[in-house]
Structure 1
Amino acid sequence: MTKTNGVILQYFEWYLPNQPHLWKLLKQDAKHLADIGITAVWIPPAYKGAAGNQDVGYGVYDLYDLGEFPQKGSIETKYGTKEELLDAINALHMYDIDVYADIVFDHKMGADATEQILAVSVDPRDREEITSNEETIEAWTKFTFPGRNGKYSDYIWNWDDFDGIDYDQATKENRIFRFYGKDWDQQVDGEYQNYDYLMGADIDFQNPDVIQELNRWGSWFVDTTKIDGFRMDAVKHIHFGFYKNWLEKLRKDTGKELFSVGEYWSGDINKLIHYMQVDDYMMSLFDVPLHYHFYDASRSNGHYDMSKLLDGTLVSYDEFKAVTFVDNHDTQIGQSLESWVLDWFKPMAYAMILLRQQGYPCIFYGDYYGIPHNQISGLRDTLDILLYLRKNLAYGIQHDYFDDPHVVGFTRSGDAKHTGGLAVLLSDQMGGQKKMCIDTTYAHVCYRDCLHPEKDSVILDENGCGNFLVDSGSLSIYIPDTDGFFDKKPV
């Protein structure tokens, strides 16, 4: 079970330097993260990538090399050594923070040798359409991991462990090749008729040797690192049902819950629902449709219908399986899925995921600490306030007021241990006021806007209701005037 009012922090962004080592920074930051209300940290891929200590982690080379072996030009990964990784995880556990590891099973890169393989090329817009005769290509598909020399696993990957690749070393041509005698996995996303192939050497999830090796690695990885769960990369490109079996076996073998969230990148809620159904709801999914609502609202110049902000989102379909987020390493400026939510709207987006009852929110490192590469300073002060509110006040019954295209809001009533509740108002255009009710328990209590304490306060009537105000294109959050927030900083 995830912790009550739990919050994930994605502890990396794409342009982080490889010095100082991220694992060292994370260890030093553990107490601070616990203090502000972070209950879980999503760490980047912890194993050696094809670009060594320059690899963000998605160009997977050796799953067993956690920064321990001289491979790809370095012993350490981009984020540090194996010892530093384990120290960081231990530090987080000392402060009761769970650790979710990013795993990438779709493909491998940086092979140690080429192989001669019979293949056909396919149309990149229709992967089922063959566009060449059978031909022999020279493909980078032999992974021997000489630096590791068989430690932990003596499995050697060869062409039969893959379905295809996108480069012929002999001709220096970039095409999508499907290996002769192989078929793309059929239970995958239907974009391009079949979206099995994404990049690199595409792993064959119909090969029983591959499945056995990935099962073996999973048990080794959990036992070695003591992680608490996973973030699954690119699940829409991997045979639907694979992770159901993989997680089922791993949870049984380790006796751990292993919370897991998959990245199925699609704004179509029906695709996310279908995937969860096929996998028997074995994992949560990121709420990509909600992210795109935030993105669209932030760029609509005040013409977005805020009353529909939650329509067609995963969190509205299944509040317990939705991991809500605003941005991540792929959506940040300059990346493959760039869809950056503009800064003026970000406080509203974070209020929607952090202060509401539904969903398991994930904060992005770049939004908290900033992204120097893009001259983005981050929203640490605002996020600290929202985290304080989630930790102390965002409990109890929720009342929604999504009844206007430009001014919407909701309230939380609090509970026996967290009294006072709160009222949240968002506006993407002209500001205004809205009558909202918190709870009759708080009749005649004075509430102030914790983001704009200089504004007039609101005294609730005998029914626990009040007329709350919000400025144009802004966020207001009203909490009891007696809350300790107004006497000191949130953290």
Structure 2
Amino acid sequence: MKNLKCIGIALLLLCLFNCNNEDLSVEEESLQKKENTNDFQRAGLKPIGEGVMMQAFYWDVPGGGNWWNTLDTKMADWSNAGIDAVWLPPVSKAQNGPFSMGYDPFDYFDFGEYNQMGSTETRFGSRTELTNMIKTAHDNGLSVIADIVINHNSGGDSESNAYTGGNTWTDFNPLSGNFNRSSTDFHANNIHSNDTGAFGGFPDLCHHQTYVQDWLWKNPNSVAKYYRDVIGFDGWRFDYVKGFEPWVVKDWKNEVGGFSVGEYWDSNVSTLDWWTGAAEVSAFDFACYYKMKDAFMGNDLAALNDNMLWKQNASKAVTFVANHDTDEIINNKILAYAYILTHEGYPTIFYRDYEEWLNKERLNNLIWIHNNLASGTTTILHADTDEYIAKRNGSGGNGLVVYINNSNSWQERWIETNWSNTVIKDFTGHSGWEPTTQSGKWVKIQAPPKSYSVWSVK
């Protein structure tokens, strides 16, 4: 009997051990599946894309290694204003060391801790300052977007190159000891002579090399996984994606997840739509940018009738008025922000526009309007040289009507809304009218000169 009891206990323990192992395997499988989707998001953060993205830098921000500390002080205010994600410049050590904006990457694993390329810190600060700033962003519910430059590298030593018959600057031995590179990892090499595009004469990475894929996104200690798991990044902005095939971005996103947007600098809507489909991520809406330039710099709001990525595929369109590379919409810039912050797509605000150049109170008001009123599909009600009116039809809410007036005098216009016998008001405060819509949903609204109004249910 004693032996039978011992056998029973042993069987019970064996069952418990196997059951626990099965539960662990299920949990590990679940985590692995989570890791291999684009649904990755840390607990406690605002969903990316429901608010507004802040581009948290501009070209040649102040040097001296204090930028991360500067941004650290902004996170609470940005979150309170309705920002949901912060896009940082490239964070790793580049060839120009303390002077570089990061777009000439040398050591992907040096965040300001190794004395190489002329400095220990990057232009923006130290690794500790970077991770502290990211923690502050997370504490305020903000996701942090990494600027990923994987088309080209810079700063390698000269070496004999069997594929070119001469010497090339392709010998990379970073002090971090991670992702050493040689001529085989660049074009030309044993696989092919080139991919879709090189940039600025820099050594052009070959993403078809398994070694390059492993270090960039596949291995447990890859750039992508280190940035996500150790540094704390939540998403990716891919630089110069014209320089390599869209499957590179797709594979990266499928491996590590996170919100992803590519810089495909092209005004052709069909091309942008093709790329977002092939890469399975978002793209900056350059078609919208150039049409806004025509509208607000060319003083012809009828240009806003033309096609844009957000009109073709709003879920993949990241709209913007300015960025670190291009800032051509100077006149009537606040009108351009009124446009993107009331229309479909995921809008981005440029740091200098928000912090230095434009009226922050007006931008905060537009952010609030975007986050609280701008839902549903878009219907353009009127567009001519000086006036543009559109309505958002609401999705679980009332929607809105935006009236942009580029003329030098107040304008009024009768429009058909989605509301019958309803009091509406201008949520910008630019107009004091509070009209009641007719039973047939028509109402007269107004907008001040060189300005805008945004109407919704009172």
TM interval, short-chain normalised: 0.7 to 0.9
Question: TM-score normalised to the size of structure 2?
Answer: 0.82
Tell me if 1:16 matches 2:61: yes
Q: Give SS of 1:16's match.
A: coil
**2-side partners of 1:181 and 1:37: how far apart?**
47
Distance 1:259 1:436, change over 3 A: same
**2-side partners of 1:19 and 1:451: how far apart?**
42
Tell me if 1:29 matches 2:74: yes
Which position in structure 2 is the counterpart of 1:465?
442
Which position in structure 2 is the counterpart of 1:207?
209
Which position in structure 2 is the counterpart of 1:217?
223
| Residue 206 of structure 1, CA deviation | 2.1
| Cα contact 2:65–2:121 (8 A) shared by 1 | no
The answer to which of 234-243 and 404-413 deviates more is 404-413
| Cα contact 2:55–2:86 (8 A) shared by 1 | yes
Residue-by-residue CA offset, 1:111-170 (whole Å, 9 max, x unaligned): 2x21123566xxxxxxxxxxxxxx52x32211111x33x2xx2x321111111xxxxxxx
**2-side partners of 1:323 and 1:17: how far apart?**
27
| Residue 54 of structure 1, CA deviation | 1.4
| Cα contact 1:395–1:414 (8 A) shared by 2 | yes
- For these two proteins, the number of residue pairs brought into alignment is 408
Distance 1:181 1:20, change over 3 A: closer
Distance 1:246 1:415, change over 3 A: closer
| Cα contact 1:117–1:179 (8 A) shared by 2 | no
Which position in structure 2 is the counterpart of 1:130?
none
Which position in structure 2 is the counterpart of 1:247?
253
Which position in structure 2 is the counterpart of 1:109?
154
Tell me if 1:440 matches 2:437: no
| Cα contact 1:5–1:390 (8 A) shared by 2 | no
Distance 1:208 1:69, change over 3 A: same
Which position in structure 2 is the counterpart of 1:235?
241
Query: In the alignment, residue 57 of structure 1 is paired with which amino acid?
Result: G
| Cα contact 2:342–2:374 (8 A) shared by 1 | yes
Distance 1:310 1:229, change over 3 A: farther
| Cα contact 1:290–1:310 (8 A) shared by 2 | no
Question: TM-score normalised to the size of structure 1?
Answer: 0.77
Tell me if 1:404 matches 2:359: no
Query: In the alignment, residue 423 of structure 2 is paired with which amino acid?
Result: V
Q: Give SS of 2:314's match.
A: coil
| Cα contact 1:448–1:478 (8 A) shared by 2 | yes
| Residue 460 of structure 1, CA deviation | 2.9
2:128 maps to which of 83, 87, 93? 83
| Residue 451 of structure 1, CA deviation | 4.7
| Cα contact 1:100–1:231 (8 A) shared by 2 | yes
Which position in structure 1 is the counterpart of 2:329?
341
| Cα contact 1:347–1:475 (8 A) shared by 2 | no
Tell me if 1:143 matches 2:172: yes
1:69 maps to which of 99, 108, 114? 114
| Cα contact 1:411–1:424 (8 A) shared by 2 | yes
Distance 1:57 1:405, change over 3 A: same
**1-side partners of 2:170 and 2:440: how far apart?**
69
Distance 1:425 1:89, change over 3 A: same
**2-side partners of 1:219 and 1:397: how far apart?**
36
Tell me if 1:384 matches 2:364: yes
| Residue 243 of structure 1, CA deviation | 1.6
1:362 maps to which of 348, 362, 375? 348
Which structure has the larger Rg over C-alpha atoms? 2
Which position in structure 1 is the counterpart of 2:293?
295
Q: Give SS of 2:330's match.
A: coil
Distance 1:397 1:182, change over 3 A: closer
Q: Give SS of 2:438's match.
A: coil
Q: Give SS of 2:76's match.
A: helix
| Residue 214 of structure 1, CA deviation | 1.1
Which position in structure 2 is the counterpart of 1:263?
263
| Residue 277 of structure 1, CA deviation | 3.0
Tell me if 1:352 matches 2:339: yes
Which position in structure 1 is the counterpart of 2:182?
158
Distance 1:394 1:81, change over 3 A: same
Query: In the alignment, residue 345 of structure 2 is paired with which amino acid?
Result: G
**2-side partners of 1:353 and 1:109: how far apart?**
36
**2-side partners of 1:51 and 1:4: how far apart?**
34
- Gap runs ≥5 in structure 1: 121-134, 164-177, 189-194, 252-257, 333-339, 371-376, 483-491
Identity score, percent:
29
| Residue 47 of structure 1, CA deviation | 0.6
Q: Give SS of 2:74's match.
A: helix
Query: In the alignment, residue 354 of structure 2 is paired with which amino acid?
Result: Y
Q: Which of the two has greater helix per residue?
A: 2
| Cα contact 2:369–2:427 (8 A) shared by 1 | no
**1-side partners of 2:146 and 2:49: how far apart?**
21
